[in-house]
Amino acid sequence: MMNDNQENANLKEDWGGDGRGRMNLSGRSTAISPDYIPRQYQLFDSNTVPEILDWRIEGMPDTVPFATRRLLSWHNCGASTSRVSLPPQFTAPAGIFTADLEIFVLSGVIQIGEWQLDKHGYSFIPAGVRVGPWKVLGDEPVEILWMENGAVPFKYEASEIDNSDARMNEFIPALDSKLLPWGKTETTQFEVAKKKYLRKDNNGGGVWLIVILPHYDGHYPMIQCYNEEGYCLAGYVDLDDYRLVKDHFWYCPSFDILPRHITDDGCLAFVRVDRDLSKPGVVLSYKDRL
């Protein structure tokens, strides 16, 4: 099965990339737009998205407790981003997944095999890597950004070993983002900002935290020649008349014109993109709005 999965894993990005990053951020629908709308920036409060109250990963045993899920964005190939809440005393057996999985903890503590993840912890689990068992620790639910990346149906399969062709070199069991240093953003539009890389993918894009420092003013709208989605963790930033605050989610298709960004107090966000932003011409100022 893994050979078939890997053969179908690379859907081309709509900006011309070959899909090596496997995030499948091109052509996504969102909770506020079930049909994909090219070049339309979408922002919404994830708390307003209806919850699926009896969600369970396909293939998991019936003994695994239900979780709740808010589906934020998705691709027809099967990739998706959700906000998932696992109840206290949640447990699930070890096994493998048929597609890549990324998780970012918003609150609570979870044990995954030998590792623990707490607030702002991150893990990347390539298809076929055996992980678990899973257990929520403490009396509070664990809230997670749950990102299924593959171009094949995502499901759990019981296994005592890793698949022979699993990409073990890409496995990130447990990353505590609080221990990572802040670095440069690599784009001129966000010089007054700092970035923490959580993962770099094969085409130079990846996953990071960004903090926009207080008193930031981008002055102009900008064109992003790549696909991006993100989630506000703290603070705020104004985009024209929309205020992006905690728990708000955004999806930005490639070549969209983004509004001017302004904040007095600063903003912390989780971001995923499918292209290397350090390349010339990937982010462009747009001074003459129509």
Per residue in 94-120, pLDDT (tens digit) is: 999 999 999 999 999 999 999 999 999
User: Is pLDDT above 80 for 10?
Assistant: no
Supply the pLDDT for residue 281: 82
Residues 6+ away with beta carbon under 8 Å from 241 = none
Q: Which helix (H) or strand (E) holds 5?
A: helix 2-7
- The one-letter amino acid at 252: C
pLDDT band, very low/low/confident/very high, at 193 (cuts 50, 70, 90): confident
Q: What is the DSSP letter of 131?
A: B
Q: Which helix (H) or strand (E) holds 135?
A: strand 134-137
Among the listed residues 84, 86, 98, 91, the one whose alpha carbon sits nearest the alpha carbon of residue 158: 98
Supply the pLDDT for residue 287: 65
- Top-confidence residue, 61 or 19: 61
Alpha-carbon distance of 125 to 108, in angstroms, equals: 20
Alpha-carbon distance of 187 to 281, in angstroms, equals: 10
pTM summary value: 0.93
Q: Which domains does the chain have, with CATH numbers?
A: 2-177 (2.60.120.10), 179-285 (2.60.120.10)
Answer positive or negative: Cα dihedral of 67, 179, 210, 28. negative
Q: Which two tokens stand for residue 290?
A: 């129509």
User: Is pLDDT above 60 for 228?
Assistant: yes
Q: What is the DSSP letter of 33?
A: B
